Amino acid sequence: MKPWPRRPLLTLLMRQPVACRFLTFLLLAHFSLMQLGLNGWSCPFLLATQRPCPGCGLSRSVLMCARGNLQEALSFHAFGPLSAISIGLLILSAFLPHDSRERLTTQVERFEIATGASHLALLFFFLYWAMRMVAGHGTIPALA
Amino acid sequence: MEIVLYVTSLGSLICWIMTLVQMFKRAGALQGILGIITCGLWAFVWGWLNVKDTNQKTHMMVWTVCIVLGMVANFVVMGSLVPAE
């Protein structure tokens, strides 16, 4: 077994095409509802505690990235652009043919193992959440 | 309708935590963390895909019902906030 920082994270998901398809379907439904101005998927942590979880605000940020509005995307969540790229890769691996998916996954895996980028991103993700809570953004219910 | 919102929120939270416990046990810490940082979305996907192994069909059904009911309640509550013309 590879040591923790060397174990790829995004590739772990990309190697599960059925899960990626399910996730794509849920995200499509969620973003469609958001486009209509309705609540899609609601974060159980936010609903129950009125405090955002580390990922709250990401879907709005990703949606803003898709619209090309990077500044607003960053105002919702600093990791929105990175998540948009990750979601793009997951959607690709959900629908690409087996050989192409393997090629793509291998390349992403090499990058992840060589740089440890996923684990660094995860670490900064939690630090960013802690900063948001300390800075007083921890009570914004609209961040779902 | 707000009571429905509270009950479904609490139900979702409990089901999410139960799924997270299974994720950390069976799929490892990395997937467990992903289940946390995706607002429960990945946990929901993982829970349904591994429903046979984890033998948690009932609680996944309860979670799904809570989500759907929560959405409906949200629509109704949001609709009631819009002033009638």
CB contact, 8 Å: A111 with chain B?
no
- In angstroms, the CA A30 to CA A45 distance is 17
Average pLDDT, chain A: 86
Judged by CB atoms closer than 8 Å, whether chains meet at A22 and B45 is answered as: yes
What would the mean pLDDT of A138-144 be, rounded to a whole number? Answer: 45
Does residue B32 register a pLDDT over 60? Answer: yes
- In angstroms, the CA B28 to CA A47 distance is 26
- In angstroms, the CA A78 to CA A58 distance is 8
Return the SS3 of B50.
coil
Q: How many CB pairs under 8 A join A and B?
A: 83
Judged by CB atoms closer than 8 Å, whether chains meet at A56 and B39 is answered as: yes
User: What digits encode the pLDDT tens for the residues A81-135?
Assistant: 999 999 999 999 999 999 999 999 999 999 999 988 888 998 999 999 998 888 7
Q: Count of H helices and E strands in chain A?
A: 8, 0
CB contact, 8 Å: A23 with chain B?
yes
More confident residue, A11 or A39: A11
What would the mean pLDDT of B58-68 be, rounded to a whole number? Answer: 93
CB contact, 8 Å: B80 with chain A?
no
Average pLDDT, chain B: 87
> What is the distance between the terminal CA atoms of chain A, rounded to a whole angstrom?
36
Percent of chain A, pLDDT > 70?
Answer: 90
CB contact, 8 Å: A50 with chain B?
no
Q: Which of B42, B20, B72, B23 is closest to A86 using CA atoms?
A: B42
Concatenated DSSP letters for A37-88? T---S--HHHHHHSS--TTTTHHHHHHHHHTT-HHHHHHH-TTHHHHHHHHH
Q: How confident is the model at residue B19 (pLDDT cuts 50, 70, 90)?
A: very high
Predicted complex ipTM exceeds 0.90:
no
